[in-house]
Amino acid sequence: MDTARNRNVFGAFALMISDDIVRASSSRAPEAGPAASALALLAHKPGLSIRMLAVGVGLSHAGTVRLVDRLASEELIERREHSTDGRTRSLYLTPAGKVSSDEILTARDRVIAEGLSILDPRELKILSDIAERVLRSRLENLEQSYRVCRLCCYEGCTNCPIDAELLARGMDREKTDDVEGAPSPAREV
């Protein structure tokens, strides 16, 4: 068994699919960069704070505020009062943002389907089962879960392995958008 070769082949496969996903999803986004991830993540988790959106898309707080400003000016997202913290704003997709997010996720799904089309249903199930085991074992924390799922189609992910692992660890993304141990957010614009 050539373990180093197997890792290299998998690494090349993962990069190829990842590059295709980024290219396809970005082509449907209103701008290059993390806009596609922001719209998809807000479809996945409406009501995120700017702080948690920043975590998910990998930007600084200031960079995320600027991204939110641009997406809001294009009427793709809107800020609303946070349900429990008056200093924080919750972010939601507008109807136009939902359309944009759907287009991004459809493009993403199309390239994944094309990339895996060579596999028969049994092989795809085996690959999915292996990927689920790796995802669950490699998940570090709630914060990372937003980065991992930033371009996921939540409606298509019944029995999400990330959500299942978080619940097994006593965390629930559906009940919080706060990172464990993170300081209280400053007033968000």
Residue 85 in this model has a pLDDT that exceeds 80: no
pLDDT of 177: 54
**Global pTM value:** 0.86
Question: From residue 81, how far is each of 36, 99, 135, 180 by CA, in Å?
Answer: 24, 23, 34, 22
| Percent of the chain predicted with pLDDT > 90 | 76
Distance, CA of 92 to CA of 188 (rounded, Å): 15
pLDDT of 156: 78
pLDDT of 23: 95
Residue 153 in this model has a pLDDT that exceeds 90: no
Read off the pLDDT of each residue in 106-119 and give the average, rounded to a whole number.
96
Q: Confirm if 14 and 82 have CB atoms less than 8 A apart.
A: no
Per residue in 11-34, pLDDT (tens digit) is 999 999 999 999 999 999 999 899
Residue 174 in this model has a pLDDT that exceeds 60: yes
Q: Confirm if 171 and 179 have CB atoms less than 8 A apart.
A: no
Q: Which tokens sit at 87?
A: 């200093």
Read off the pLDDT of each residue in 175-183 and give the average, rounded to a whole number.
48
Residue 183 in this model has a pLDDT that exceeds 50: no
AA identity, residue 148: V
| DSSP string of the chain, one letter each residue | --HHHHHHHHHHHHHHHHHHHHHHHHHTSSSSSTHHHHHHHHHHSTTEEHHHHHHHHT--HHHHHHHHHHHHHTTSEEEEE-SS-TT-EEEEE-HHHHHHHHHHHHHHHHHHHHHHTTS-HHHHHHHHHHHHHHHHHH---HHHHHHHTTT--GGG-TT-HHHHHHHHTT--TTT--PPTTPPPPPPP-
